[in-house]
Amino acid sequence: MFIVYFFITVLLITFWVTTSLYIVVWYDAVNLRTRTEEGQWRKGIQLFSIFKGIVIESLCLFFKLITTPLRFYLDRIPKTAVPDSRPPILFVHGWGSGSHAFLIIYLLLKKQGFKNMYFMTYRPIFADVRKLADQVAEKIDFVREKTGASKINVISHSMGGVLTRYAIKNGGADGKVEKLIALGGPHMGSRVAAFVPMGKNTLQMAYKSAFMTDLACDGMTCGDTHYVSIYSDFDNFIIPQDSSHLGADAKNINVPFHGHIYLLYSFHVIRLIIKELRRER
């Protein structure tokens, strides 16, 4: 019975967290956005879609939490590289998460014939973004050395996209990443970072912080990497949601009514990832 109570408690917590964040999203949308037609935006509200989105996001967060122990397994595969004409793939997770976040994406990519997929779990979670980005750059070199590939593809979620961008711009990974497919990346930061009152990177990840502004000062997309941002105006962690937009030199794909965690488990998003991985530049 303890296990049942435990899972019920975790599920209720995920619903509470998700609903609370969407209250913040609503407050931000109503009070901190400029609207040309006063009150007209209310006519576009789709209550059923919003409710459905909140329920799906809560369930996805619940699944992500209960699969956390799997990261200790995923971090250790593959043990050996296999011949493949396509670039290897590195998964880079978001703040406070782990490699288990990409479980469904990994399984579906594997089913589609993708090989040489690597994971990492960076720590400590409160460390300077620069130090965490160094870990990403080191892992990129590890994957290249392990597979013999000159360039790799990176699939990131949330802060993982910022770390990869920093690694490309300042960490020596320029010319080593063929494609960066960023899911829900806070590329100009997020106001949600203010809810975490500790840690160096939560200050750096604040919306339009000095760090985020400096990272974007020469453009959001550096080097010869092809950038793809898959994001949603319904994201409950990236506030404002247009912070995920990587500018005119990137491919930006907006998927409606997808919460921040749902981006990791949505079949629609995974089909987009597969399409971009197969697309010739």
- Record the pTM: 0.94
d(CA 102, CA 86): 19
Give the three-state DSSP class for 126: coil
Q: What pLDDT sits at residue 2?
A: 84
Q: How far is CA 80 from CA 53, 77, 92, 150, 229, in A?
A: 40, 8, 20, 17, 30
Give the three-state DSSP class for 113: coil
Please say whether the beta carbons of 30 and 22 come within 8 A: no
Beta bridge partners of residue 100, listed in sequence order: none
pLDDT in tens, the chain (281 residues): 888 899 999 999 999 999 999 999 999 888 876 655 566 666 677 888 999 999 999 999 999 999 999 999 999 887 788 988 899 999 999 999 999 999 999 999 999 999 999 999 999 999 999 999 999 999 999 999 999 999 999 999 999 999 999 999 999 999 999 999 999 999 999 999 989 888 899 999 999 999 999 999 989 999 999 999 999 999 999 999 999 999 999 999 999 999 999 999 999 999 999 999 998 76
pLDDT (tens digit per residue) in 83-136: 888 999 999 999 999 999 999 999 999 999 999 999 999 999 999 999 999 999
Q: What pLDDT sits at residue 29?
A: 84
